[in-house]
Amino acid sequence: MHVTGYSYPWDVDADFIGRAAELGVDEVAVAVAYHSARAATPWSERGTSVLARHAALYRPVRAGWGVLRPAPAGWVESPDSAGDAIRSLTGAGIPAAAWLVLTHNSLLGSAFPEHSVRNCFGEHYPWALCPAHEEVREFASLLTAEALADLDVRTVVLEACGQLGAVHQHQHEKTDAVWSPEAVRVLSVCCCPACTESWAERGIDPVATRELLRNEALRLISGEQAENRLPAEVRAVLLDTRQRATDRLRREVCEQIGAHRRVVLHASADPWATGALPGLTPAAAGEVDGVVVPCWKPSGPAEVAAASAVTSADIGAYVTAVGPEVPDMTQYVRELRAAGADELHLYHLGLAGPARWPHLRRAVEEAHS
């Protein structure tokens, strides 16, 4: 199995490069455009964490942007910290990938709510830029071009290449396990003008559909039976609207990547999924080189099998060694391979400190066995 380890630009120094080489990963994916975060730095002697206050481009932010413009990362010393990290890795003989987060941007979603996802109650999700808007697709396309400018990377990893929804992610999130998965799906349907115009073009009334969604959301939130009561024809139009916008976003972004690079898409086999790994569309299944599915928990083999059933692309299993419960990595990787995984994507070479490093080592050893 091909093994990709993930990192932030500030993780990559001489010590990191030595650890990555010793670990034996085949590639290191460096975050080049990333959302806000407070990231632990367990290997650092300078401090415990880095506070990335907002989404940022970790390359120089040049002129030529439209209304949506990325912010620079003021918490790192270099204006080209991602470029510096990638050049350091490749100079040491370690292949590097560019890791790009596209529509998860609370800074821009807050400043321009008209371009964010809006639910059936009229509430905006500032963390979620809606790909149905031309301005959002143009932003993601230019972000990709600027992120890759003059960089020697053979792989581009696309995260949030689609729509985010109700539960990912805001400051001090207090929604975990409050809503059922069915309620989350309804609350994640975007009802912004661009999406509702698409509904009308496909024959369903936007006003009546928003009312249907509100009633369904209220029913599910109140704890009634979980089955989806939306008419089948309405569900079909809602999903088709989202998938069309997702496909347009991905295709415009991929035009900037070029045919000489490998495109790896973070996605879920569940077509209704939103978030960092949005639902895989039928078109995407045949237009990317690899699909990375969420395998945070022991349900990972089922995720891998589901993705393998709908795409011939290489399947990557996204596995964490920094969560509260880390599985037996040797056995887990064995199960993922048996389910059809071609690649192992390890989260995260910077966040996993000395106490977690043995888990990564066992994962890489099993993947390469």
**Predicted confidence (pLDDT) per residue in 26-77, tens digit:** 999 999 999 999 999 999 988 999 999 999 999 999 999 999 999 999 999 9
- Indicate whether 260 and 329 sit together in one domain: no
pLDDT band at 306 (very low <50, low <70, confident <90, very high): very high
How many domains does the structure of the chain reveal? 2
Q: Give the residue numbers spanning the domain of 346.
A: 299-368
In whole numbers, what is the pLDDT of the chain averaged over residues?
A: 95
Q: How far apart are CA 352 and CA 137, in angstroms?
A: 34
- Indicate whether 261 and 304 sit together in one domain: no
- Indicate whether 161 and 305 sit together in one domain: no
- Indicate whether 140 and 35 sit together in one domain: yes
User: Is position 304 within any domain?
Assistant: yes
User: Is position 2 within any domain?
Assistant: no
pLDDT band at 170 (very low <50, low <70, confident <90, very high): low
Long-range own/partner contacts, residues 120-125 (CB < 8 A, 24 or more apart)? 120/186, 120/187, 120/189, 120/191, 120/210, 120/213, 120/214, 120/217, 121/214, 121/217, 122/191, 125/164, 125/165, 125/166
Q: What percent of the chain has pLDDT over 70?
A: 99
Q: Which tokens hold the place of 32? A: 């080049």
- Indicate whether 248 and 307 sit together in one domain: no
User: Is position 228 within any domain?
Assistant: no
For the residues 265-274, what does the mean pLDDT come to?
97
pLDDT digit string, tens, across residues 77-97: 999 999 999 999 999 999 999
For the residues 252-262, what does the mean pLDDT come to?
96
pLDDT of residue 326: 85
- Please say if the pLDDT value at position 104 is more than 90: yes
- Indicate whether 249 and 349 sit together in one domain: no
pLDDT of residue 242: 98
pLDDT digit string, tens, across residues 19-32: 999 999 999 999 99
**pTM higher than 0.95, yes or no?**
yes
pLDDT of residue 75: 98
Q: Which tokens hold the place of 267? A: 């996605």
pLDDT band at 169 (very low <50, low <70, confident <90, very high): low
Q: How far apart are CA 80 and CA 72, in angstroms?
A: 9
User: Is position 227 within any domain?
Assistant: no
- Indicate whether 340 and 255 sit together in one domain: no
User: Is position 206 within any domain?
Assistant: no
- Indicate whether 250 and 336 sit together in one domain: no
User: Is position 209 within any domain?
Assistant: no
- Please say if the pLDDT value at position 227 is more than 90: no
Between 166-180, 196-210, 290-304, 305-319, the lowest mean confidence (pLDDT) is in 166-180
- Please say if the pLDDT value at position 317 is more than 90: yes
* Three-class SS state of 181: helix
pLDDT digit string, tens, across residues 204-222: 999 999 999 999 999 999 8
User: Is position 144 within any domain?
Assistant: yes
- Indicate whether 48 and 147 sit together in one domain: yes
- Please say if the pLDDT value at position 324 is more than 90: no
User: Is position 82 within any domain?
Assistant: yes
Last residue of a domain, one of 252, 287, 322: 287
290-294 vs 124-129, strand pairing mode? unpaired
- Indicate whether 35 and 112 sit together in one domain: yes
- Indicate whether 360 and 249 sit together in one domain: no
- Indicate whether 248 and 332 sit together in one domain: no
pLDDT of residue 273: 97
* Element at 314 (helix H, strand E): strand 314-320
Between 32-41, 130-139, 247-256, 317-326, the lowest mean confidence (pLDDT) is in 317-326
